[in-house]
């Protein structure tokens, strides 16, 4: 298999047919083997019926219906595990990814890069969402170790071995950006323009946006190290504060007792932050090692998946529960 396309689907019964047809049009330009994996994240509309009609007419379309809504990044991880292509591309179900630029997107993969990401000069979203995106970028830079040179988006192509490495993630709350960063592989950005949404509006309300942000923060123990740094900083500041106030007593009538109390309060406050950071470091590492036991992603049914793909995704099906 040459290429795999993974599309997480939710509330997209009006757009998914157009997205799939656009992929077929682009892939008809060259003689290749490809598959389109649609992961239905328990969509509340009639998406399940729409994509069910697709699989009967085309064996290249594979479908995984999740039993409950678990979020876009879980759907992406499931799709990665089921993919069989030498190059795996993820894109959205709303038509905003410029699939006509697919061949440009994968060019860097032939030039030594393992990951290629579309770079949009300006995202087509609301002012508040742009602010949220900037906060998310800042979080990724500070806590996840993301390079300032790399821009993430919803249109990403990756080599098979990189996908296999990501697919080994044992947890139940993946954050794909963090998993890509942790690959420590060459990443390229390709400039292109994001398209307008075909229909409807974003499925990311305030609650879901916050959950995604929290998943990003909790995918790393970087936030705990922030507390460690803050604790050391406060302890050093308490020493500096004591010295400054001690000098001021030579010129002003300031009680040495008050100086000592203020300095000690800052010092022990810093120690509390440091202790919290150290304890949190141990708890965080234990969490990262044990969360594999929680990886129970359930599906209701699948279509056109090979037995090998079914084994790789290792999902708990309704049949296996009975």
Give, for all 322 residues of the chain, the pLDDT tens digit.
899 999 999 999 999 999 999 999 999 999 999 999 999 999 999 999 999 889 988 999 999 999 988 888 899 999 999 999 999 999 999 999 999 999 999 999 999 999 999 999 866 555 556 666 666 666 555 565 566 788 889 999 999 999 999 999 887 678 888 889 888 899 999 999 999 888 766 655 556 556 555 655 555 656 666 666 777 777 777 778 777 777 777 777 666 667 677 777 777 777 776 666 666 655 765 665 565 544 567 888 899 999 899 888 875 444 433 3
Q: CA–CA separation, 90 vs 305, rounded Å?
A: 18
With helix as H, strand as E and coil as C, how does 123-188 read? CCCCHHHHHHHHHHHHHHHHHCCCCCCCCCCCCEEEEHHHHHHHHCCCCCCCCHHHHHHCCCCCEE
Q: CA–CA separation, 163 vs 177, rounded Å?
A: 13
The CATH fold assigned to 3-220+295-321 is Spore Coat Polysaccharide Biosynthesis Protein SpsA; Chain A (3.90.550)
The whole-angstrom distance between residue 160's C-alpha and the CA centroid of its chain comes to: 18
pTM of this structure: 0.73
Phi first, then psi: give them for residue 137, nearest 5 degrees. Answer: -60, -45
pLDDT for res 135: 64
- Torsion angle, alpha carbons of 132, 157, 43, 205, to 10: 0
High-pLDDT (> 70) share of the chain, %: 70
pLDDT for res 251: 75
Nearest Cα neighbor of 231 from 175, 284, 274 is: 274
Q: What b/e readout covers 127-145, taking b as 16+ CB neighbours within 10 angstroms?
A: eeeeebeeebeebbeebbe
The whole-angstrom distance between residue 224's C-alpha and the CA centroid of its chain comes to: 20
Q: Tokens 């803050």 map to which residue?
A: 230
């Amino acid at each position: 298999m040459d290429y795999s396309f993974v599309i997480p689907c939710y509330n997209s019964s009006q757009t998914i047919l157009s997205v799939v047809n656009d992929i077929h049009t682009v892939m008809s330009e060259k003689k290749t083997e490809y598959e389109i994996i649609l992961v239905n994240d328990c969509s509340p509309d009639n998406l399940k019926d729409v994509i069910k009609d697709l699989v009967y007419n085309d064996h290249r379309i594979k479908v995984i219906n999740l039993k409950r809504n678990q979020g876009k990044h879980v759907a992406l991880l499931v799709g990665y595990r089921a993919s069989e292509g030498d190059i795996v591309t993820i894109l959205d179900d709303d038509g905003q990814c410029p699939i006509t630029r697919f061949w440009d997107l994968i060019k860097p993969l032939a030039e030594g890069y393992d990951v290629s990401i579309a770079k949009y000069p300006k995202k087509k979203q609301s002012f508040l969402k742009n602010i949220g995106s900037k906060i998310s970028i800042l979080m990724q830079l500070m806590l996840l170790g993301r390079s300032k040179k790399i821009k993430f988006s919803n249109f990403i192509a990756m080599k098979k071995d990189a996908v296999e490495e990501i697919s080994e993630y044992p947890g139940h709350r993946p954050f794909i950006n963090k998993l890509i960063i942790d690959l420590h592989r060459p990443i390229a950005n390709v400039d292109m323009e994001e398209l307008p949404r075909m229909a409807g509006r974003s499925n990311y309300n305030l609650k879901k946006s916050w959950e995604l942000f929290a998943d990003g923060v909790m995918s790393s123990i970087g936030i705990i190290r922030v507390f460690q740094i803050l604790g050391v900083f406060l302890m050093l500041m308490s020493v500096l504060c004591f010295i400054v106030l001690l000098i001021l007593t030579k010129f002003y009538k300031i009680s040495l007792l008050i100086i000592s109390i203020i300095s000690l309060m800052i010092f022990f406050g810093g120690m509390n932050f440091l202790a919290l950071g150290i304890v949190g470091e141990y708890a965080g590492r234990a969490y990262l090692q044990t969360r594999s036991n929680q990886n129970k992603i359930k599906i209701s049914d699948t279509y056109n998946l090979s037995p090998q793909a079914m084994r790789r995704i290792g999902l708990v099906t309704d049949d296996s529960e009975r």
